[in-house]
Structure formats: C-alpha cells, structure tokens
Amino acid sequence: MRHKLSIIVDIVKLNDQNIRLILQNSDIASKATPGQFVNVRCCNSNELILRRPISILNTHEDCYDIIYKIVGEGTKRLSNFKIGESLDVLGPLGKGFTKEPLDKTIAFIGGGIGLFPLVYAASKFKDCDIDFFVGFRNNDEIMIIDEIKKTGANVYISTDDGSFGYHGFITDLFSENIKKYDKVYICGPLPMEKACVKILRKHGIKGQVSLEERMGCGIGACLVCACETIHGMKHVCKDGPVFNISDVFLKE
Amino acid sequence: MLKPNLSITIGDVTLNNPIITASGTFGFGREYGEYIDLNQLGGIAVKGLTLEPRLGNKTPRIAETPSGILNSVGLENPGVKAFIKNEIPFLTQYDSKIIANIAGSTVDDYLKMVEILNDTLVDLFEINLSCPNVREGCLAFGSSKDGVYRVTKAIKEIAKKPIIIKLTPNVTDITSIALGAQEGGADAISLINTITGMKIDIKTKKPVLHNNTGGLSGPCIRPIAVRMVHQVYQTVDIPIIGMGGITNLEDALEFFIAGASAVMIGTYHFMDPYVSEKVTIDLLKYLVDNNISDIKQLIGSLILHE
Ligand SMILES: Cc1cc2nc3c(=O)[nH]c(=O)nc-3n(C[C@H](O)[C@H](O)[C@H](O)COP(=O)(O)OP(=O)(O)OC[C@H]3O[C@@H](n4cnc5c(N)ncnc54)[C@H](O)[C@@H]3O)c2cc1C
Ligand SMILES: Cc1cc2nc3c(=O)[nH]c(=O)nc-3n(C[C@H](O)[C@H](O)[C@H](O)COP(=O)(O)O)c2cc1C
Ligand code: FES
C-alpha cells in the first residue's frame, strides 16, 4: 500500500538554522514511538536522490512534528516548502528507545539535533524521575527548553562557550550524580556520545544510545549504514538508530 | 486487444515480466515487501553473495552526488549458506524469479558457490565480475575479455541454472568483454554495474567514503548505461539486461529500445520504494496504449541517425 503524503500544517522558525514542521499524517502519527525517525524527500527533482533522515519530535492527534537544522543542500531545499504543501515522508522507521518497568530514575543527555528524539521519549516515559541534560554550542542555539520542562523533567543546560548555563561539556554535569540513575539515554554528536558511554561503562550503568550514520534506503535493504555490535553487523536504519550501550562499539 | 506479452526468457527460465530489482539495492526482498507486492516483479536479484560471510567496508559507505550516489558497501553479506537457509524459503513464496548474485575472488570461489546453489530453488545465477568495492578479486576477471571468457566457461560447465554475466563499465571496450561472456557460454549479460568515482569533503580534504572511492549509480549514469547496452546489443546475440539510473517507465523504455530484453532497477528504490512495481504496471499500460502485443517488438527498436 502506498504511503500517504504528509501535509505541512505549520512551519515554525526556531532560530537561524532550526525549523520545526508540524505535519499531518495519521499513519505516521499513530505508529511512531520515541527514537524513531522519518525519511524525508527534500525536493521534487531527482537531483537529490536520497531522502534525509529526521527524528520524530512528538505526535499529537493525527500530526507529528520534526525539527530540522539547515546544514546542506537537502535541508536547504526542504526550507522552500510552504504551509499547505505536501511532503513525501516515509516512516516511522527504525527502532526507538525502550524502558523497563524498573527503570525509575533516568537521565537524558542530548546535544544539538540529538535533543529531539529524547524530548519525545521524556514525554512518553511516565512515572519516572527524569533529569534532562542538554548541551548547546552557545546561547543562540538554545531551543525548545520549555517543551522539555513541560515533560516534568529537571533540566540542566550547558553551553560550550558559557553563554548560558554551565560553561563546559554536558558530561561534566551529569556525571556528578551518576550513580542514582537506573538508565541513561544519549543522543548527540559522536564525541559527546563516546564520552558519555565511557562514563556509563565505567560505572556499570545501563543505557541506550542513538547512532547517526549516512543512509541510503532507510529500511535495511542497502546495507550502507552498518554498525558493528556484539551481535554482529547491524544496520542503523533498521536495527537502530537506538542501541543498548552494552551492544555497540562506537566508531573511532 | 489481448493482454500484451511481457514475459521474457533467459536460458530455460521465463520471467513473467522484464522488470527486475538490481542486486545490492533491494536486500533479499523482505524490506521492500512491506511496500510492494513482490509477485509483481519479474525477478529479484539478491544482495551479492560470497562463499563466506563478509562484514564489508567501514562507514561512511555512501555519498550523494548530483543525481546519483557513490557506495562502498564492500559486499557485506551473510554468505551463501546463510542465504540458502534464511532467505530462499522467504523468496520462494513469490512468483518473481530468484536471481542469486554471486561474487568471488578466485574462479574456485565462483565454482564452489554455483555448486552449493545448484540444487536450491534459485532460478538464475548472476555472476558479478565487476564489484568495484572490494580490494581483492572479482574486478580483475571483469576487465579483460579472456578473464570473462574463462570464468564464464568454467561456471557454465557446472551450472544447473542459466547464468547471467554482470559486466563492469570500468573498461575501455565493453563490446569485447561482452563477447568474452557470450563465447564462454553465458545465457545473458547484465550491465552496467557502478562506475568508480570519488567525492571529496573540501573542509577535511578527505574523501567522504571511508573506502576513498566507491561505485557511482543512479540517474547520472543512465546515458552511459544506455550507450553501453546499445553497443553490446550490436555485438552479441544473447539477451541483455540493462540497468543504470532507471527511475520510471520512460527511462526503462530507453533501455528496451537500445536493446535490453529486461531491465533492473536499483538506486531509485531508496527514493521511491514502489518504483519497480510502478514501472511494471506502467509498462503494461504503455504496451496496451500503443498497440504493442509483445514487449519483444520494442527490444532493439532503435532508429539510428544516418
Ligand atoms: C537517525 C537520524 C536522525 C536524525 N534526526 C535529525 C533531526 O531530528 N533533525 C536534524 O536536523 N537532523 C537530523 N539528522 C541529521 C540529518 O539527517 C542531516 O542533517 C541531513 O541529512 C543533512 O542533509 P543535507 O542535504 O542538508 O546535508 P548534506 O551534508 O548536503 O547532505 C549530504 C548527504 O549526507 C547525508 N548526511 C549529512 N549529514 C548527515 C548526518 N548528520 N547524519 C546522517 N546523514 C547525513 C545526507 O542525508 C545526504 O545524503 C538525523 C540523522 C539520522 C541518521
Ligand atoms: C548500495 C549498492 C549496493 C550494490 N551492491 C551490488 C552487489 O552486491 N552486486 C552487484 O552485482 N551489484 C551491486 N550494485 C550495483 C547495482 O546492482 C546496479 O548495477 C547499479 O547500481 C546501477 O543501477 P542503478 O543506477 O539503478 O542503481 C550495488 C549498487 C548499490 C547502489
Ligand atoms: S540505509 Fe539502507 S540499510 Fe540502512
């Protein structure tokens, strides 16, 4: 069965680079779980023949939201679409974050665009005590903090240049009370993920990490998004993007 | 008008229609089975298989280029035995023919794989003599007439299924290579595999692909592929399976007119998971609309300028 197009209900410019799309598609909205992503066709010409993977930020009724950062040709072209137009979006794709009933005290650690799937998870993981750590490069990048607070999480912010919140890396902040967490969820730039994973492994704390990899098909057919795990070669688009920390070897 | 005849025959195997999914872009069919009816396809060429499992190259394995992509998967696959155990039972549920794409580093590798696959429900063998992304092996066979002839002949002697020889475009004279395949006894030729290329990240001055180079595919290679199908059609008598950048019916028609008996669709699945099914449906409609009773009337119908 053909997938339905996603209708752009609203476009919100969050700052210079980040744009939020509110998209209507009941199939995606009803099936999505936190940590999953969609694969977006960014222009109607075949000049770009790959879709772009973007995390799902949340769902509400028959809509879902995404936030994308304009970084290159694809995301630039995506910014040409207007309210009322339709986007060709495949999804939801991949496997998202999971939580055991016994995981009560949890931490989310997000950096940059890695923040978005974590916000979704925080809003869905009920009856938990959540600390949410967010790292940005600087003050201008800070976004959707109110939305994180709405989930009931305690929010801790750091900036690399000290222009807001804690001056330094987010790993310093969360490692202070690390022992109290039953589970930690990480999504951000690779160096940040690696630093966090190292700390968690040292303390034997369980967690999940969302990996980023360049993709082709997005559904497990082309094998370009490989990632080595203790269970052999896996594929980020289908077996991930979320993996248990104990299963993955992070790239050099 | 009666339903036009879309079927084509390779060796003694008849495909319901001439639309086949290209090796390496369609996994083992399962993933796209969520989107399309696999019964609609003429055939499914599975991910390139090797004798032993392979992990493939390091990532990044893909880079986007204008109207195309470079890939350097490096033949990641579970090995021929796991394929037989885990994938053939799934694929045999469908009408579409199963095409086992195999790659080896030595003639012996190919022969062993053919032996193992001979008594399975695989319908056809596609012999990949042209994978550009593995250091050792198969490209060496694919780039000389004699190499192609020798491997083809050795395989043909033991193969219990028709063999399709897949050619690399990374050669100076595709026609002599194609002749090598025909003289070796190939039942068909498929072309083109990817064209070797490179993309550089100007900030880091490093290639985007970890493997440094990769294979170019997608619409950007289509004119090269059409030209090569045309040349090979003028040279050999065996059926040709054409591919390279097909995105819709019109693209596929170019290949039929140039001389392809069937086409394979690869990269464009990543953008449009329904593309193969769509082209199959559109092709039937095209034949009806144009009063063509048999797809064979189209094959090689090219009218060259004087
Ligand atoms: C699972 C997953 C979830 C993501 N979620 C988000 C999100 O919620 N918001 C957001 O802004 N971005 C997200 N990204 C990153 C986003 O996919 C890239 O920023 C985007 O593909 C860049 O496309 P471009 O054409 O603008 O950039 P270009 O650099 O011109 O892209 C060239 C090629 O590289 C690929 N590419 C470039 N950067 C990345 C990257 N970081 N990860 C994977 N592929 C990349 C592109 O898809 C394209 O094929 C996510 C990536 C993954 C893998
Ligand atoms: C990601 C990827 C993996 C591929 N793997 C194989 C392979 O294992 N064996 C093979 O014979 N060809 C392989 N190919 C080549 C395709 O089958 C096809 O020849 C080529 O991509 C041209 O067709 P297209 O432009 O429609 O993709 C691969 C192509 C891509 C894009
Ligand atoms: S992107 Fe094709 S397998 Fe992951």
Residue B306 falls inside a structural domain: no
Per-residue pLDDT of A172-204, as tens digits, reads 888 878 889 999 999 999 999 999 999 999 999
CATH of the domain at B258: 3.20.20.70
Domain region containing B78: 8-56+74-196+215-297
Pick A161 or B16 by higher pLDDT.
Answer: B16
- A222 CA → ligand 3 middle, Å: 5
Residue B302 falls inside a structural domain: no
User: What pLDDT sits at residue B127?
Assistant: 96
Active-site residue among B117, B129, B131, B192?
B131
A215 interaction partners in chain B (CB closer than 8 Å)? 62
Whether B187 contacts B166, CB under 8 Å: no
User: What pLDDT sits at residue B263?
Assistant: 98
Q: What burial letters (b/e) apply to A21-54, b meaning 16+ CB within 10 Å? A: bbbbbeebbeebbbbbbbbbbbeeebebbbbbbb
Residue B59 has its nearest CB partner, among A2, A3, A226, at A226
List the alpha helices (DSSP H) in B107-144: 107-118, 139-142
Average pLDDT over residues B226-247: 98
Rounded CA gap, A73 and A68, in Å?
13
Yes or no, beta carbons of B60 and A214 under 8 Å apart: yes
Residue A214 has its nearest CB partner, among B35, B47, B59, at B59
Rounded to the nearest integer, the mean pLDDT of chain A is 93
Residue B44 falls inside a structural domain: yes
User: What pLDDT sits at residue A1?
Assistant: 65
User: What pLDDT sits at residue A160?
Assistant: 87
Cβ of B125 under 8 Å from any chain A Cβ? no
Yes or no, beta carbons of A219 and B274 under 8 Å apart: no
pLDDT at residue B238 is higher than 70: yes
pLDDT band at A252; cut points 50, 70, 90:
low
Residue B30's H or E segment, with its range, is helix B30-33
- B130 CA → ligand 2 middle, Å: 10
Report, in angstroms and rounded to the nearest whole number, the Rg of chain B calculated over CA atoms.
18
pLDDT band at A83; cut points 50, 70, 90:
very high
Q: If DSSP codes are grouped into helix, strand and coil, which group holds residue B189?
A: strand
* DSSP secondary structure string for all residues of A175-189: HTTGGG-SEEEEES-
Q: Measured between CA atoms, how close is B270 to chain A, in angstroms?
A: 4
Residue keyed to tokens 């077996």: A239
Q: Which ligand places an atom closest to the C-alpha of B73?
A: 2
Neighbours of B121 (CB within 10 A): 11
Per-residue pLDDT of B101-131, as tens digits, reads 999 988 899 999 999 999 999 999 999 987 5
B26 interaction partners in chain A (CB closer than 8 Å)? 221
pLDDT at residue B175 is higher than 80: yes
Residues with CB under 6 A from ligand 2: A 216, 222, 224; B 22-25, 47-48, 71, 73, 75, 101, 128, 131, 166, 193-194, 217-218, 221, 243-246, 265-267
Closest residue to atom 33 of ligand 1, CA basis? B64
Rounded CA gap, B260 and B240, in Å?
5
Residue B61 falls inside a structural domain: no
CA-nearest residue of chain B to A213? B60
A50 interaction partners in chain B (CB closer than 8 Å)? 62, 64, 69, 270-271
Per-residue pLDDT of B271-282, as tens digits, reads 999 999 999 999
List the alpha helices (DSSP H) in chain A: 26-31, 73-78, 115-124, 145-150, 170-175, 190-203
Whether B138 is a known active-site residue: answer no
- In Å, how far are A39, A219, B28 from B35, measured between CA atoms? 14, 11, 14
**Model confidence, pTM:** 0.96
Cβ of A112 under 8 Å from any chain B Cβ? no
User: What pLDDT sits at residue A251?
Assistant: 72
Whether B265 contacts B22, CB under 8 Å: yes
Rounded-to-10 torsion of CA A147, A150, A156, A158:
10
Rounded CA gap, B159 and A249, in Å?
41
Residue B110 falls inside a structural domain: yes
Yes or no, beta carbons of B32 and A226 under 8 Å apart: no
Residue B35 falls inside a structural domain: yes
Q: If DSSP codes are grouped into helix, strand and coil, which group holds residue A4?
A: coil
B71 interaction partners in chain A (CB closer than 8 Å)? 216, 222, 224
pLDDT at residue B135 is higher than 80: no
Residue B271 has its nearest CB partner, among A51, A213, A221, at A51
Q: What domain count does chain B have?
A: 1
User: What pLDDT sits at residue B165?
Assistant: 97
pLDDT band at A139; cut points 50, 70, 90:
confident
- In Å, how far are B29, B55, B69, B115, B273 from B101, measured between CA atoms? 13, 17, 21, 14, 21
User: What pLDDT sits at residue B82?
Assistant: 97
Residue B203 falls inside a structural domain: no
Average pLDDT over residues B57-72: 97
Instruction: List phi, psi (to 5°) of B104.
Output: -135, 170
- Give chain A's count of helices (H) and strands (E): 6, 17
Closest residue to atom 11 of ligand 2, CA basis? B128
The upper half-sphere exposure of residue B63, i.e. CA atoms within 13 Å in the direction of its Cβ, equals 22
Residue B3 falls inside a structural domain: no
